[in-house]
Structure 1
């Protein structure tokens, strides 16, 4: 298809949530949670617990996490998490009991916690928040070094249905280039322990675009991963972000350049190779990043990025979503700032108010629904959008959708009843998503000062 549209950079922004957290600001009115949740649907909530600790920080990581924990900090953090859970449960009230449809422990690395601490985390979710972990999908993130038999036994016994292991590369030189020191033998030993624990779904994360990676080495990592027959595989493009280890290398002129067009071409080539390899081995593509084995059990909403708004997040890096307010705690990337925020969270006694976030009006809700549907391979059913908002997406975003169609990235199917990204549209998801950011969100993100 011939297009007159100007070329765009394919790797602009990973849109796993909207509005992005860098658009959040201190809430001047600090609304009471009981008021925030009054009138909100609560029959199919998502639950997320954030554990902001890792044994090492990878060079590409800009997640809210710190390396290690001084004596007693993880215990104090769980104390605060429990206080927060009690406050949130009180805010929800008992008139309309909250019911949870899925749960996730993320980070950081939740399995940084000891087995006893993981037991306590599950107790907080169940006894304080009322999350029946054994009755709903529960996803937990882990690293090879912390996926120990005792921790995995706790998670399996408490109902974990999915374990996501951050491997990134099975080539040791590439792992070092990504500032992720690990030995392949240790990674495979961890995978063996996970399979022994009989958690139903194993996900393996891999990264493409690492310095020194080739088509052959990328295929090698894919094949080693496939030998374990993981139910899911996530393929992530490497990003170089400010204040990360690789970001500091790029600033010094010794790492990959974030604005390098040749690097864009390399990443796109590795993505296509990885996609085609997984499809040829019995996997189905659910988004740009996510591939699931055709015979694997379903786990609920892909990426925990469903279009509905009910999310309860506990922990200083977690977000909570209602239909009109997204809120969290302060956000940082630099280690001194993160340490300060974690220490402040652990000392907090009053969790009854939302302090940091962003109001979501109907225009933002339309954008969120559209982009989080469109970025899934299944696409956007127009009738669902119309039922929720009373209009068609083609009426609300005619320019943006027309440009995607002009590029060959968007197709209308079933007589216009479904909008779906083409294969090339999915490949450019990190450019498609930002096209629907509102001017206000763009401005807030641009004004955010990394720290």
Structure 2
């Protein structure tokens, strides 16, 4: 039995391959790597900029992101001061960057008070000569943290995409996954966003909660569609170590595949197209910007504790943790750093040629547009099937269609994205992830 056969016999939900390698494969560098040295050989004309705000009003039971719930009163203010210093240092090291898109995430950026949000945008303008109105800009939010003042500020800054974490319109379902929220808060937040006219509204929903049924999932989707979101992300529930749900001894009934299929078909019937296992976009929705950014080949500069940066060869960030004490310690260390420390990368991973190829393959294949064999060949100087001959197994099992031009997952393959992604991880990366000590 091949390795793929073995994996296909297990749950379809092995790991969410949103980035490769995962941060759990990062380690301290033997010596600090100067940013100028890292970025000197890179094309800096189409970079993505990411700002991380690691604060939330509470930590959801399923969350393994780098965030601290209910921080001390002045911690956010201290954080913004240090973020400004970091941004200034990065600008001085890389004065000739050009951004093609901006994302502000966390955590929950809208946890910040209005004056703090204004400071965040001031950092972009003063330190990076950048404004959200210049290119596609997405900001993450939660219903409980949105107010009319914050939404107006976000709109006035030119942010054209707001991503709202809903998870479920059913209060009991949300509570079962460690997210105490009221439906009234959700509706009020959505009305605020729609009334102000932000061009793209994305809603995140989760399937697989204890007690959730096909009917209740469809009901949440129906309530979401009442606000005509341009995008929806449907996330399978993962119960991970050190999260609230991961600490409970409860056994979970894994009916996620059934729920996924029901949700997918529901959205298809209502005019949405699928772009990945998780992402659905309304067919008639107009993209507010045309961007040439390509995550397979273009780099990203991440600012803030918990942000990831990557070039073609070096991925780096602050250290990673999930538990409160570990996250708090990493944030405290970030706040203590001297300005010159931000001129170098201290923690991350170096990708050799094969790892670069794997990343390109994974980031391409798990999209509905699939992998362009010509694009891969022009990037790496060889055919992807020669470099990764095991890909032909995907066609044997009906998981992909391979032509002279592309490799595209079938519907059966797409719903196995969280199996196919980990199947393509290298042994070296898997070993580093397995031996990572998460706190």
Give TM class, smaller chain: over 0.9
1:5 aligned onto 2:9:
no
Partner of 1:345: 334
Counterpart of 2:60 in structure 1 is 58
Q: Distance in 2 between matches of 1:256 and 1:301?
A: 45
- Kindly report which structure 2 residues correspond to 1:109-258, keeping only aligned pairs within 5 A, or say none: 109-249=108-248, 253=249, 255-257=250-252
Quick check: 1:84 aligned with 2:86? yes
1:16·1:305 contact (CA, 8 Å) conserved in 2? no
Aligned match of 1:74 in 61, 73, 76?
A: 76
Distance 1:275 1:161 in 2: 25
**Structure 1 counterpart of 2:300, from 311, 326, 331:** 311
Deviation (angstroms), 1:299: 6.2
Structure 1 segments (4+ residues) deviating >4 Å? 299-302
Contact 1:306 1:372 in 2 (8 A): yes
Aligned residue number for residue 431 of structure 1: 419
Contact 1:284–1:292 (CA under 8 A) maintained in structure 2:
yes
Distance 2:213 2:143 in 1: 24
Q: Structure 2 stretches of 5 or more lacking a match? A: none
Task: Render the CA deviation track for 1:126-164: whole Å, top value 9, x for unaligned.
Answer: 221232321101000000011111111111111111000
- CA–CA distance in structure 1, aligned partners of residues 244 and 105 of structure 2: 21
Structure 2 residue 290 is the aligned partner of structure 1 residue 288: no
Which residues of structure 1 form unaligned runs of 5+?
none
Query: Could you say what secondary structure the match of 1:170 adopts?
Result: coil
The equivalent of 2:372 in structure 1 is 381
Alignment partner of 2:238: what SS? coil
The question of whether the paired residues in 2 share the 8 Å contact of 1:174 and 1:212 is answered with yes
TM-score, structure 2 as length reference = 0.96
User: Which SS does the other structure have where 2:345 is aligned?
Assistant: coil
CA–CA distance in structure 2, aligned partners of residues 301 and 276 of structure 1:
28
Q: 1:364 aligns with which of 319, 340, 355?
A: 355
Alignment match, 2:325:
336
SS where residue 385 of structure 2 aligns? helix
Q: Residues 367-386 of structure 1, C-alpha deviation per residue, up to 9 Å, x if partnerless? A: 01111000000111110000
RMSD across aligned positions (CA): 1.5
How many residues align structurally? 431
Distance in 2 (CA, whole Å) between partners of 1:344 and 1:450 is: 17
Aligned counterparts of 1:343 and 1:77: Cα–Cα separation in 2: 9
Q: Secondary structure of 2:205's match?
A: strand
Q: Distance in 1 between matches of 2:87 and 2:386?
A: 42
Tell me whether 1:403 sits opposite 2:375 in the alignment: no
Compute the displacement of 1:354 (Å): 0.4
Distance 1:370 1:441 in 2: 15
